[in-house]
Chains A and B, each alone.
Chain A
Amino acid sequence: MKQRKKGAALVEFALAFVILIPLVAGAFQYSIGFLQALRLEAAVRAAALYGSQLPYLSSTETPDSGFLIAVQNMALYGKPEDTGKPLIPTLRPEHVAVQVSLAAGVPRTVSVSIRGFTLVLPTGNRLLDGKPASSFPFRGRFEPR
């Protein structure tokens, strides 16, 4: 009788295990994906906001390298220098697209978006191309060289 009860408990445990483990694993993976999405959203917003107040030295929509690197670093490290721990370990400078739009020859908006970055989710990997994105009106000094 005692052995029968033990067997039943084992079967119940096995069944619960089959349901619970994927549920916990899914929740864990979802939370990591969600955290990455939140971080990316915050990173592009901080980078665009920072870029909107930097001096803009180029006379075209292609920013100068100093501007580009500083804005990309803001998204990657949370500061203009490429030092310290990256906010999102797998994010690289080539994933951070910086666009400056001109109107009547003057910078109007600074946009930052994520391109070609793969977000790992329980439902499968998701390629981020153009999202998340953030735009701010340019309010820095315009000093074309």
Chain B
Amino acid sequence: MVLILVAVALMLLLAVTGLAIDCSRILVTRGIAQGRLDAAALAAVLELDGTRQGIDRARQAAALAAGGLLDNLKVEFAAEPGSAWEETPRSPALFRFARVSAFIRVRLTMLRTIVQKEATEFRAVATGAQQPQSPLPPDVIPDQKSLSRRLSEDTDFTARSYAEYAARGRGNGRRIVPSPEGARFILPASAPAAIPSTEPIGAYLQGSRWKGAGESGYLTAVLLR
């Protein structure tokens, strides 16, 4: 009787230990994979500039940031979070959202005999976006409210050129942006610079060599949860 009890208890104990070990491995792998996907989504978003080349660059940047861990990476793009996600957008002009997903496979060790499976699989997803920002840091212009109002008055989200922007009669013809100098963003220390009339409308994407997609003003790449 005692022998049977011990055998049953030992089997249960081993099964629970196996469950704990395999679950912990799944959790650690999930954490690592999510970190890589987050980086991939941000890397993709930083490349989006409203062109097909931008989409290609975004796909390559995502694959590079994800590393070898994720070999079945899927990169999709959207103009708005609620709209359809497309792997190859036909007209990528306003696409400023990137969603990166992958199926993560974790080999089972202790649970293999119980669940009769070699490995378990789950899908991990990360979404990044180009988000409009105030053009200057708070310490340069302390009054954020008036700055936000000024930005909303002066910003035309769909104009593709300065001429189009001016023809629509929105704003006052001048907008405050950081001055991009080559690949660098040099923030003006004192007075903000106005865009010259020849400057095409397009969003400056902080941390990127490219102008952002589909917005005007000043963008930054963020992760959406």
Chain B binds chain A? yes
Residues of A at under 8 Å CB distance from B? 12, 16, 23, 27, 30-31, 34, 37-38, 41-42, 45, 49, 52-53, 55, 104-107, 132, 134-144
What number of B residues sit within 8 Å (CB to CB) of A?
A: 33
A51 to B39, CA, bound (A): 13
Query: Which residues of A lie under 8 Å from residue B223 when comparing CB positions?
Result: 49
Q: Do A137 and B65 touch across chains, with their CB atoms under 8 A apart?
A: yes
Residues of B at under 8 Å CB distance from A? 2, 6, 13, 17, 20-21, 24, 27-28, 31-32, 35, 38-39, 42-43, 46, 61, 65, 137, 178, 183-187, 206-209, 220-221, 223
Chain A min CB distance to B18 (Å): 11
A16 to B10, CA, bound (A): 10
Q: Do A139 and B220 touch across chains, with their CB atoms under 8 A apart?
A: yes
> A139 is contacted by which of B17, B28, B187, B206 (Cβ under 8 Å)?
B206
Main secondary structure of the interface of A (DSSP, over half): mixed
Q: Do B206 and A132 touch across chains, with their CB atoms under 8 A apart?
A: no
Chain A min CB distance to B25 (Å): 9
A27 to B13, CA, bound (A): 11
A-B contact pairs, 15 of them (CB 8 A): A12-B2, A23-B17, A27-B17, A38-B27, A38-B31, A45-B31, A45-B38, A49-B223, A53-B220, A55-B137, A134-B39, A137-B65, A141-B185, A141-B187, A143-B186
Given contacts A27-B17, A136-B38, 17 further A-B contacts (CB under 8 A): A30-B20, A30-B21, A34-B28, A41-B32, A42-B31, A45-B31, A45-B35, A49-B38, A52-B42, A52-B207, A136-B39, A137-B42, A137-B43, A139-B221, A142-B185, A143-B186, A144-B184
Query: Which residues of B lie under 8 Å from residue A143 when comparing CB positions?
Result: 185-187
A-B interface, 5 closest residue pairs, ranked by CB to CB distance from nearest: A139-B207, A137-B43, A45-B35, A139-B221, A106-B183
Query: Which residues of B lie under 8 Å from residue A104 when comparing CB positions?
Result: 183
Chain A min CB distance to B91 (Å): 26
Q: Do B61 and A137 touch across chains, with their CB atoms under 8 A apart?
A: yes
Q: Do A141 and B2 touch across chains, with their CB atoms under 8 A apart?
A: no
